Amino acid sequence: MSKPRILVVEDSSSIRQWFVSVLTSSAEVATAGNGLEAINQVWTAWERRKPYEAILMDIVMPVMDGLTAVKEIRRLERQQWPDGSRCCSIVVVSRLTDPEDILQAQYHCGADGYVTKPCAASTVLQTIANLGIDLHQARTQRCRL
């Protein structure tokens, strides 16, 4: 069985590397440094018929923030598949803990989940698994971000 494809969108290179180390044994991982790069990579993946199954999205990033990117990805998705089905799950992973950010992400922008940093590897892996993505070979390391 092929590994699920996951896109990590994060402007900090050290945090990007942390996500890659957590996910790499159980998923095919790609990275982007801001929201605009993420949209381009999602679009390219659709064109190649190899869509990402999950996107982990930071909020505060240069060029384009994560919530704008989530909204845009969901808009493009509706354009591509007017029946309303979603081709990927999006989890926002952010240091922002204000209720308004959490509500905005999930009720307005279309994110499926929200994880607050700092977080444990097990929290990230379990959140992805709860979205129906099979990560049964994931390492159960206890490292924290």
> What DSSP string describes 26-95?
TSEEEEESSHHHHHHHHHHHHHTT---SEEEE-SS-SSS-HHHHHHHHHHHHHHH-TT---S-EEEEEES
Nearer to other proteins, 108 or 143 (CB): 108
Nearer to other proteins, 20 or 115 (CB): 115
Decide: is 144 part of the binding site for other proteins (CB under 8 A): no
Q: Which of 126, 141, 143, 144 binds other proteins (CB under 8 A)?
A: 126
Residues within window 89-108 making contact with other proteins, judged by CB under 8 A: 89, 97-99, 102-103, 106-108
Distance of CA 119 to the CA centre of its chain: 15
Verify cis geometry, omega within 30 degrees of 0, for the bond prior to 118. yes
Task: Work out how close the CB of 99 gets to other proteins at its nearest, in angstroms, rounded to a whole number.
Answer: 4
Task: Work out how close the CB of 62 gets to other proteins at its nearest, in angstroms, rounded to a whole number.
Answer: 25
Calpha distance 66→141 (Å, rounded): 27
Nearer to other proteins, 40 or 80 (CB): 80
DSSP 24: T
Helix (H, G, I), strand (E, B) or coil at 143: coil
Decide: is 15 part of the binding site for other proteins (CB under 8 A): no
Decide: is 76 part of the binding site for other proteins (CB under 8 A): no
User: Can you give the binding site for other proteins, defined by CB under 8 A?
Assistant: 51, 53, 85-89, 97-99, 102-103, 106-108, 110, 112-116, 119, 123, 126-127, 129-133, 136
